[in-house]
Amino acid sequence: MAAKPTKKEQAVGLYDQGLMVEEIAAKLDCSPTYVANVLIESGRTPDYVDLYTHTGPQNPYARRLAGILRFRTTEAARESIERMDRLYHEYEAAGDRRGQHQVQLLALIGRNRAEGIGKLDAARMFTDWLLAHLTVRPQPPPQRASAEQMATPRSAS
């Protein structure tokens, strides 16, 4: 007697037959996130994205940001925020706005995930960090050339 296929095997088989993630989840009585992660784990790339699926590094910052989010305890969330803050300021010092933006996105994901699993203290911590780092800082006014600088011809290089 052949063993009944596991839920993971069934999900992969149904996907290979052309079913969509949501259809597979309904048939197997599980979440679309579970199905998507099973498919990703098996090397497939389903057309499904949510906060809890990950298909691998999608940008050059992903490797440095991987594994930072932790919120099992308040202390773990605090440590995550400290790591994010160090990276954010490193990118800021380098003038790397993309890097700063990626850290802000990670904080938003952390906030949403923590809230979604009822870790409200951690969600507030991520929110507070994010709000502090979304503040638009005034830019210094552009330097205007003095009359003397404007009168001095530049040499062609």
- Domains contained in the chain, number: 2
Q: Residue 55: is its pLDDT beyond 70?
A: no
81-124 per-position pLDDT tens digit: 999 999 999 999 999 999 999 999 999 999 999 999 999 999 99
Put simply, whether the predicted model's pTM sits higher than 0.85 gets the answer no
Task: Identify whether residues 74 and 17 lie together within a single domain.
Answer: no
Same domain, 109 and 67: yes
Split at pLDDT 50, 70, 90, the class of 141 is: low
Mean pLDDT computed over 134-150: 67
Question: What is the separation of C-alpha 94 from the centre of its chain, rounded to a whole number of angstroms?
Answer: 21
pLDDT confidence tier of residue 31, bands split at 50, 70 and 90? very high
CA-CA distance, 125 to 89, in Å (whole number)? 18
Q: What is the mean pLDDT of residues 44-64?
A: 74
Q: Tell me, yes or no, whether 121 lies in a domain.
A: yes
Q: Structure tokens of 26?
A: 């309904």
Same domain, 75 and 109: yes
Any domain includes 20: yes
Is the Cα torsion angle 7, 43, 69, 121 positive or negative in sign? Answer: negative
Is 98 in the same domain as 128?
A: yes
Q: Which domain holds residue 116?
A: 62-132
Instruction: Identify whether the C-beta of residue 21 lies closer than 8 Å to the C-beta of residue 45.
Output: no
Q: Which residues, in sequence order, are CB contacts of 103 under 8 Å at separation 6+?
A: 65, 84, 87, 88, 91, 133
Q: Are residues 73 and 116 in the same domain?
A: yes
Matching residue, tokens 């099992």: 72
